[in-house]
Structure 1
């Protein structure tokens, strides 16, 4: 059974399963986060949804590059959690299955490609308090 973080599912909503891959990218005592401006400003672990026919690892590399401009290496799965949320950008009530990885940031190639995203190196202690969802905070706090 996968641990749930955040609010319980609402009985009046139908949720669509949405698997995703997310990563913790430490460098010394800092970690690379993405900041998404819309629909609500929020710091997040880089990553996102796994497209149909895409492996979690391919999705992870793609999403990190789109959201931060960085390439990564040696992703290692740490665990997973579920959360129930409304995704206004898709007009979708989602049951997100979030698989969390730990990887090495290799090289910055560009600014983030995804509109409304920016990449930020933050001290791990600060990042834990700024992350927008409790599942991300839980996995990052394990590094402290």
Structure 2
């Protein structure tokens, strides 16, 4: 039943879009359109999956320095909230990761607050990310 409801809903949305297009464009123009793709709003689970994909690159860069990165659910929720826009989808997510995670991490690395061999735990406190580095630092050859 649920699948049929989704299919019926999809048909209704497609028909409404076509009707709106017919009201605004001439048939000559509409005949040039091969297909109409309807995008659905991303779910919370999909946003979290996109966050994981985006963070994989940052994790690889940190692993080259022997640093692990762990985000708790509150940090993921803040990224999802700041990095998702109903109109633009997950496009703002890269900027949110850069602003909320990458930039503060870079400052902490430059200050020597995070060292090779440590694990950085990230959590959210309101609208701010909190970073905690634990584990023994490993001496590296310069």
The TM-score, its normalising length taken from structure 2, stands at 0.29
Q: Greater relative contact order: 1 or 2 (C-alpha under 8 angstroms, separation 6 or more)?
A: 1
Larger helix share, 1 or 2: 2
Q: TM-score, normalised by structure 1?
A: 0.29
| Structure with greater strand percent | 1
Q: Which of these two proteins has the greater Rg computed from alpha carbons? A: 2
